[in-house]
Amino acid sequence: MSTAPAIIVLGPSGLETARRIRAALKTAEIHGAGTRVPDADVLFAKTGEHLAVLFREKRPVIGVCASGILIRALAPLLGDKHGEPPVIAVAEDGSAVVPLLGGHHGANDLARRIADALGADPAITTAGDIRFAVALDAPPMGWTLANPQDAKDAMAALLSGAHARLTGKAPWLEAAKLPLSEDGEIELKITHHAGQEPGGGLVYHPHCLALGVGCERDCDPDELIELARQTLEAHGLAHQSIALVASLDLKADEAAVHALGKHLGVPARFFTPEELNRQSPRLKNPSEIVLREVGCPGVAEGAALACVGKTGELLVEKTKSARATCAIGLASRPLDPAETGRSRGRLSVVGIGPGGPEWRSAEAVSLLRAATDWVGYGLYLDLVADLGANAHEHRFGLGEEEARARHALELAGQGRDVALICSGDAGIYAMASLVFEVLDTGSSGASASDAARRVEITVVPGISALQAAAAKAGAPLGHDFCAISLSDLLTPWEVIEKRLHAAADGDFVVALYNPKSLRRKDQLSRALAILRGARPGATPAVIATSLGRDEERVTATTLEKFDETLVDMLSVVLVGSTATRRTSKTTPPRIYTPRGYEMKEHAP
């Protein structure tokens, strides 16, 4: 389920403001009201229903519309204010930014970011923000409030004249306009220890602990999670102060490490053996066996120390279970995981459909916006340029498919978030299979690096050319069909010819990919000759070129009237079966293949 902010636009007059907001927030998506906003990332039909779905999914909602529209739509859903997502109303001209809901759950901060981008002033109305320039129940990044249920009473007491007593160091509280005194009634306690909730006060846990872990390959995730739980409990440490889980880069694809991070709600970060070797003088339990096996004398302790740096310390030495180890480092300040180690790289092999934005999936848009790097054929990168992402582009020429796949994998192996962009569907005559082939066998070149083999891979489906062509023509794929590529670059023509005969004999509707190129001149003629030998000349056929783009051309014809001059390297050809029909009872006439129910109706 996506957590990207949804920018709601109800008409074209708000689209420019929505685009400015999206550019500032990077991962946000524009959700447009049907045909009134066709250029949106996501289209919806009914505003109220769509808002309700987003609200229930806890997604931040930014409505470029009157605040009353949002209020009336969401009023029936309001209940627990602690569980509501941010909801913000923005004037269509960008002159006003008003957080309506979730002020202490990110809405106020989000409103400030939007206002900065639009050159407006956020209309913050929550009492704590106005009076003390701080929201006690919404600490900044790097901090967690242990007892949020007490925040309302504490804030009410302070607003009524009580003083606060700060125990520990928290620069963000010291910089606020709180009434502080050494004997204040409301204690604000800063600690990384558990079980410290004082009566009438608030406890804040800084994210200053790094949990270093090591484990055997395919360790049971439950074992590592239980080891971490017992270690924290034995030393009285608050799990809310864990900023990240860290390990050796050889464990970047270890399920147990990621399961532990997910369990604690923190990211996993990884270090090379060389980076962990630098911590050798600080280790409490170095091991020659570990050094021989992985290239550094300690994984758990080394990773914990690498996270907390020279000013930090090893708070808990290596603790063991049957197949896992853990250690805990204490930093002198809250840790930012983005500045520590590297993440497990992610490669998203993204199908963008035929090219137009209206045929991209929400998942594809979200992953493209989140990516640090885009890899692909130059034309494909141009087709998604409207997303306005800040990703670094890696452009390749036509025919450099394997080079693209390798480059994308190696970039992801560096810990980057990479999108390998494909037209159509990523798994149909596209890059997904080549990525796995490079990882599995090395394909025609050298094997992928060890780091590349450990990346997370996501394959994102898209609308394929055969689907798009069929939709434009009517429904020619209504019954059994097959797809055959006429490119003999990787498949011998004898094999292609054998498949064409099989498709003709089986009376399949046939989608012909790669029907023509500058080098391939006669394959299409030979393929059509095979199909003409098995079905009537009146069999419907479709030539679809540059689908989803401004120069799109879709031609309905027949086998006997097929004009090969209309076909180029951006075309896909559909040839019907003997059951495929052309109906003139629609405007324009459409091509379809019956699903077979007719035979059932006439069966004795």
Q: Give pLDDT, residue 2.
A: 60
Does residue 134 lie within any of the structural domains? no
Whether 137 maps to a domain, the answer reads: no
Write down which residue in 323, 339, 355 finishes a domain. 339
Question: pLDDT (tens digit, 9 = 90+) per residue, 518-545?
Answer: 777 789 999 999 999 999 999 999 999 9
Residue 493 forms part of a structural domain:
yes
- Asked whether residue 189 falls in the same domain as residue 229, the answer is no
Residue burial 519-528, b: 16+ Cβ < 10 Å; e: rest: ebeebbeebb
Of 190, 206, 222, the domain-final residue: 206
Looking at the structure, tell me whether residues 406 and 294 fall in a common domain. no
Do 354 and 316 lie in one domain? The reply is: no
Give strand pairing partners of 180.
164
pLDDT digits (tens, 9 = 90+) for 345-368: 999 999 999 877 888 898 998 899
Express as a percent the part of the chain with pLDDT over 90: 70
Per-residue pLDDT band for 124 (boundaries 50, 70, 90) equals confident
Distance between CA atoms of residues 330 and 336, nearest Å:
13
- Spatial neighbors of 134 by CB under 8 A, at least 6 apart, are 128, 172, 173, 176, 177, 178
How far is Cα 184 from Cα 266, in angstroms, rounded to an integer?
Answer: 34
Whether 451 is covered by a domain: the verdict is yes
Same domain assignment for residues 199 and 179: yes
CB atoms within 10 A of CB 74: 20
For residues 202 and 214, membership in a common domain is answered with no
The 3-state secondary structure of 108-131 reads HHHHHHHHHHHCCCECCCCHHHHH
Same domain, 371 and 333: no
- Number of domains observed in the structure of the chain: 5
Mean pLDDT on 389-397: 88
Closest CA to 210 of 142, 132, 256: 142
Q: For residue 464, is pLDDT > 60?
A: yes
Residues 358 and 370 placed together within one structural domain of the fold: yes
Q: Is the CB of residue 503 less than 8 Å from the CB of residue 482?
A: yes
Q: Which two tokens stand for residue 361?
A: 């999936």
> Which residue segment(s) compose the domain that 433 sits in?
346-463
Q: How far is CA 198 from CA 82, 136, 462, in A?
A: 21, 15, 54
Q: Is residue 516 a contact partner of residue 571, using CB atoms and an 8 Å limit?
A: yes
CB 481 within 8 A of CB 510: yes
Phi, psi of 33 (to 5 degrees): -80, 95
pLDDT digits (tens, 9 = 90+) for 179-203: 999 889 999 999 999 986 666 799 9
The verdict on 89 and 118 lying in the same domain is: yes
Average pLDDT for 477-498: 93
- Is position 89 within any domain? yes
Residues 442 and 563 in one domain: no
Q: What is the pLDDT of residues 555-597, one digit of tens each?
A: 999 999 999 999 998 899 999 999 999 988 888 889 999 987 6
Same domain, 569 and 558: yes
Residue 132 falls within a domain, yes or no?
no
The reply to whether 138 falls in a domain is no
Q: Is residue 282 part of a domain?
A: yes
306 and 284 belong to one structural domain = yes
Last residue of a domain, which of 312, 339, 366? 339
Q: How far is CA 537 from the centre of its chain?
A: 48
Q: 194 and 264 share a domain?
A: no
For 267-284, how does the pLDDT look when each residue is reduced to its tens digit (9 = 90+)?
A: 999 999 999 999 999 999
- Whole-number average pLDDT of the chain: 91
DSSP per residue, 429-495: SSHHHHHHHHHHH-TTSPPPPTTGGGSEEEEE----HHHHHHHHHEETTSS-EEEEE---SSS-HHH
Domain CATH code at residue 414: 3.40.1010.10
Q: What is the CATH number of the domain that holds 261?
A: 3.30.420.180
Structure confidence at residue 81 as a pLDDT band (50, 70, 90): low
